[in-house]
Structure 1
Amino acid sequence: MENLKTIWKPELYRIQMEAPKPKKIICDKCLDKPHFYGKEYHGIMGHKEATALLDEQPNGAFLIRKGNEYNDFYTLTWRFNDKVHHFKLYYDGTHYIKDKRYDTIYDLVADGLITSHMELKARHILDMITSRASYTDSPYVTLNRKKINTLQQQKKQVTDEKTSAMTTNKIISNVDRKTDFSQDLTPAFEDNPLHIKYSKTHNFKVHTFKGLNWCELCANFLWGFTAQGVKCEDCGFIAHSRCSERVPNHCVPDLKKLRGVFGIDLTTLLNAHSSTLPFVVRKCVNEIESRGLDSEGLYRVSGFADEIEALKLAFDRDGEAADLSVYSNINVIAGTLKLYLRLLPVPLVTYEVHPKFIQATNIKTVSDQINTLRECLDQLPPAHFNCLQYMVQHLHRVSLQSEVNKMSAHNLSTVFAPTLVATPPAITDLSFEIRALQALIEYCPQIYFGNK
């Protein structure tokens, strides 16, 4: 790692500046050309003719052609390192050869020449970066200590403010992944933001940076004319494309980058808010359990759509400060909770767990069915595990009042199966999903706490 720290970064920049510059070979004869190409387009042309045109040209010279009229792609031919190279070229509103997208063909060629030149002339440095760079030993940790400390202090301040407002009724956490929300299944829980920090992958997207920017893994600058590297859309971490492959799942989303709370990935939202549970779920459940468990048709009867939308906007705008007491109709709050869960990009019971979850419905003995459901739950991401546990415990308590509210475990599972269970698009009959969720609700004490 010491070698990485002593890399002379201006050397990489100097090498980039030495890359060949694009020089288009003009064609004035081709009149029938696509609107997204200019005079660099030469129409239908074979590779031999294209090679002959570029043989006497400097490195960086290029032209666009089509091999024959039946191809569904174009061909970029350029001269680099004193050799002529050919690439399949596509256009769908942006120009691309592989993954990177470019607004203009000039940007694509310029960036491609820089990348090729760096790989040719700076191979020894690139190999050192990709073979030795690690997150924990990254020079970035030293070079940007102030930035990291500031982020940590901001997170701690948010956490302290939340903790100071806590009541004595707190969530007890299992250190690794599971959170015990109350072994006697009593209602009205408070969320403790200190208990769990969920592992989350970075949401990297190819990005064009302004000016010189530096990889936060290896601390070397991001080379390229455009689309130099990747940036996490959730936390802002930037890296070379290669370096991003070895960044661990330590994404701490920036609240400023999240727009509201509905439709946000569950793990992303919880990490951004330093929280164990979504406050939308917690606040709605607490409100329903305090004044709505005896409401007939709870969750089945729809609330007014305009009031549900108003409460959704209040959550997105005001966060935890949203006031639920102004909604006298408990079905509005129940409808908003269902809406939040329905809009999750990945439902609480994920696609990966779905097959085994359904398999539990075919098991005859209750004890084996409970064990299979437990195995399913253990395969869920931690954030999904905890939120599903909280919801199932709540639905179990609702079902205990079924003589009054008319919502048995079967009725509740019929309402919630399309919302809580990730179902492949081809499946229209949800009878198996309903049966599996019904078992989860009915056997909730045994599944989560081993009660007889």
Structure 2
Amino acid sequence: MLSEELWLESEKNYATAVHKSKKGRKHQELLALALGMKVGGRSALLWQPLKLFAYSQITSLVRRAALTQNDNHFNYEKAHNFKVHTFRGPHWCEYCANFMWGLIAQGVRCSDCGLNVHKQCSKYVPNDCQPDLKRIKKVYSCDLTTLVKAHNTPRPMVVDICIQEIESRGLKSEGLYRVSGFTEHIEDVKLAFDRDGDKTDLSSTTYPDINIIAGALKLYFRDLPIPVITYDTYSKFIEASKLFIFIHILHVSVIPNCRVTQNDKENLMGAENLGIVFGPTLMRPPEENAMTSLNDMRHQKQVVQILIQNEDVLF
């Protein structure tokens, strides 16, 4: 009886081994077909490194195909954030599909989406970076476009969540956006966003003072690597202010401030006061110069004030 059980067990193990062997061979044959080679014979000696090579290529192709076919409702152009990278094992360029030669610093990798290309090829890669949330370490001080593309949202989720809370319980608060909340509490909100993302709790039970939420929103704009009114357009906006020319931009932040001005009798924050608060927050000169910043302050205020006052025409 015991010998019969042992025989059945050995038969079962043999069948399992055969199944795994066939499955493994079929997998190898598929990879070999993709590489244009035959399994067995002399080529078997090259199989292990080629298998690693194939896995690398197939993984890259699948990821790129997923990015291309991603149903992204909000299409923003975003340049890749390439940094020199040393790859372990065989690797090749996801732009030209040629092998990356060398032992160290064979190419560059986008720190936002993980795209791997030759250094030379990086000059020709289109601005089609689709950031991976796993690679984004923080919310504050993160490029605005990176954040909205990673979350697939029309605006940064920090802006949406803060404004939703401010509009629900703070529109009649006197000095809204002008009165500062406690710095340590604002830092708590910043850390909460970096830690919890869109699950951050800004409710009145957690932060009773609405000025903390308003301060966290202003800090987010201040910490952006590139301001909402970009460095490229800064001088144009300053000139526009001097000439009283209205320019169409800033849908991200102007509309919420217009709602604030609708309650200016209670909160005492009309378009002019909001311009004073948000002028230096939403725009700053490309070069750090105290004198330039001081001279431009009234124009910065005027730019934001004009945009708020003419929201119905501009947007």
Q: TM-score, normalised by structure 2?
A: 0.76
Q: 1:390 to 1:435 in 2, by over 3 A?
A: same
Q: Is the 8 A contact 2:112 2:131 kept in 1?
A: yes
What RMSD, in angstroms, separates the aligned Cα atoms of the two structures?
2.4
Q: Which of 192, 207, 220 is the equivalent residue of 1:327?
A: 207
Of 308, 312, 325 in structure 1, the residue corresponding to residue 190 of structure 2 is 312
Paired residue for 2:62? 146
Q: 1:318 to 1:142 in 2, by over 3 A?
A: closer
Checking the alignment, whether the CA contact within 8 Å between 1:361 and 1:436 is kept in structure 2 is yes
Q: Distance in 1 between matches of 2:251 and 2:196?
A: 26
> With structure 1 as the length reference, what TM-score do the two structures score?
0.53
Matched, 1:446 2:313: yes
Change (3 A) 1:240 1:7: farther
Is the 1:197–1:276 contact (alpha carbons within 8 Å) kept by the matching residues of 2? Answer: no
Report the CA distance between 1:422 and its aligned residue: 2.7
Q: Percent identity?
A: 47
Amino acid at match of 1:446: V
For residue 249 of structure 1, give the secondary structure of its aligned residue in structure 2.
coil
Partner of residue 177 from structure 2, selected from 277, 284, 299: 299
Deviations 1:259-289 (A, max 9, x none): 1210000111111111211111001111111
User: What are the ranges of 5 or more consecutive residues in structure 2 without an aligned counterpart?
Assistant: 1-33, 38-55
Select which of 431, 438, 442 maps to 2:298.
431
Tell me the matched-pair count. Answer: 257
In the other structure, the counterpart of 1:15 is none
The residue number in structure 2 matching 1:208 is 86
Secondary structure (helix, strand or coil) at the match of 1:352 reads helix
Choose which of 281, 284, 296 in structure 2 pairs with 1:419.
281
Whether the aligned pair in 2 keeps the contact of 1:203 and 1:232 (CA below 8 Å) is yes
- Residue equivalent to 2:76: 198
Aligned mates of 2:207, 2:238 — CA distance in 1: 37
CA distance in 2, matches of 1:274, 1:200: 13
The answer for the alignment partner of 1:133 in structure 2 is none
Superposed displacement of residue 144, structure 1 = 4.3
State the distance in 2 between where 1:145 and 1:231 align: 15
SS of aligned partner of 1:206: strand
Asked if structure 2 preserves the Cα contact closer than 8 Å seen for 1:222 and 1:228, the reply is: yes
In structure 2, what is the equivalent of residue 288 of structure 1? Answer: 166
CA distance in 2, matches of 1:258, 1:247: 21
2:138 corresponds to which residue?
Answer: 260
**Taking structure 1 as reference, are residues 209 and 401 closer, same or farther at Cα in structure 2, changes over 3 Å only?**
same
Partners of 1:362 and 1:146 in 2: CA distance: 52
| Superposed counterparts of 1:369-384, under 5 Å | 369-370=245-246, 373-374=247-248, 377=249
The structure richer in helix per residue is: 2
Structure 2 counterpart SS, 1:353: helix
Any residues of structure 2 matched to 1:35-74 within 5 Å, and which?
Answer: none
Preserved contact between residue 57 and residue 91 of structure 2 (Cα < 8 Å): no
- C-alpha separation between the residues in 2 aligned to 1:213 and 1:353? 40
Match of 2:255 in 1: 393
